[in-house]
């Protein structure tokens, strides 16, 4: 192998390393900023709703008081096992999706087509999201009334809704024009905004989930 080929390979590897490093730094900064905002909200907003809507609250009380709800909550093993799989689902979904978000922003894998990163990320992230929502539903089943009374729970639901809207808009609107910018190191503004919002919303969802747990 000639010295020129070795030099090109080394330069490419170094460039990829810098891009991944920049992506990790950017993700850390974004996560830190979002964490600070969510922490401020958790301190500024009372942890309890204080004005329950009776019909929905009664439904949540019935769900939590059901045999399944009590069984999950009172079990020594079931609740922590479900929570463990919930965390695994978060890692597989949000943890993997963030790489696509960083590619959309133009901070990582800029030498790879967006469509290639998308095809590699979405199947794994999809499995993670299914696992996350199933286990999250079971955890809610066990603590429905406590969750209903928590302001942080409603903030979390609002953030999940916004993240879903952002994902649907990207999938059905922005993604249709991907052929025009698939190989661009830095995608167009609407794609970058989608990636940034995804990072912000899902980071906030995770952090709000933690503040919700500590406010129970």
What's the CA gap between 83 and 178, in Å, rounded?
37
The string of pLDDT tens digits covering residues 132-160 is: 999 999 999 998 888 888 888 888 899 99
What is the pLDDT averaged over residues 168-178? 88
In this prediction, residue 136 carries a pLDDT of 92
Helices marked H in 112-186: 114-142, 144-148, 151-172
168 has a pLDDT exceeding 60: yes
| pLDDT single digits (tens) 91-128 | 899 889 988 998 998 888 888 899 999 999 999 999 99
Could you give the number of structural domains in the chain? 1
Neighbours of 102 (CB within 10 A): 26
User: Taking the CA atoms of the chain, what radius of gyration do you get in angstroms?
Assistant: 21
- This prediction has a pTM of 0.77
**What's the domain range around 74?**
3-215
Question: Angle, nearest 10°, between helix axes 3-44 and 78-105?
Answer: 120
Residue located via tokens 């429905």: 144
């Amino acid at each position: 192998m000639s010295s020129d080929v070795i030099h090109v390979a080394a330069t490419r590897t170094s460039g990829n390393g810098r891009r991944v490093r920049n992506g990790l730094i950017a993700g850390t900064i974004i996560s830190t900023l979002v964490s600070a905002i969510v922490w401020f909200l958790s301190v500024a907003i009372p942890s309890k709703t204080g004005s329950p809507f009776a019909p929905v609250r009664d439904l949540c009380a019935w769900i939590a008081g059901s045999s399944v709800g009590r069984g999950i909550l009172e079990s020594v093993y079931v609740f922590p096992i479900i929570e463990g799989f919930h965390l695994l689902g978060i890692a597989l979904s949000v943890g993997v999706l963030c790489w696509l978000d960083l590619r959309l922003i133009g901070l990582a894998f800029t030498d790879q087509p967006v469509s290639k990163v998308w095809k590699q990320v979405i199947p794994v992230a999809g499995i993670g999201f299914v696992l996350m929502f199933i286990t999250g539903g079971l955890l809610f089943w066990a603590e429905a009334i406590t969750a209903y009374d928590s302001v942080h729970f409603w903030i979390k639901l609002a953030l999940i809704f916004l993240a879903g809207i952002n994902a649907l808009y990207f999938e059905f609107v922005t993604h249709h024009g991907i052929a025009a910018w698939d190989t661009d190191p830095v995608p167009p503004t609407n794609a970058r905004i989608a990636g940034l919002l995804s990072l912000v919303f899902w980071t906030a969802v995770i952090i709000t989930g933690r503040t919700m747990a500590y406010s129970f």
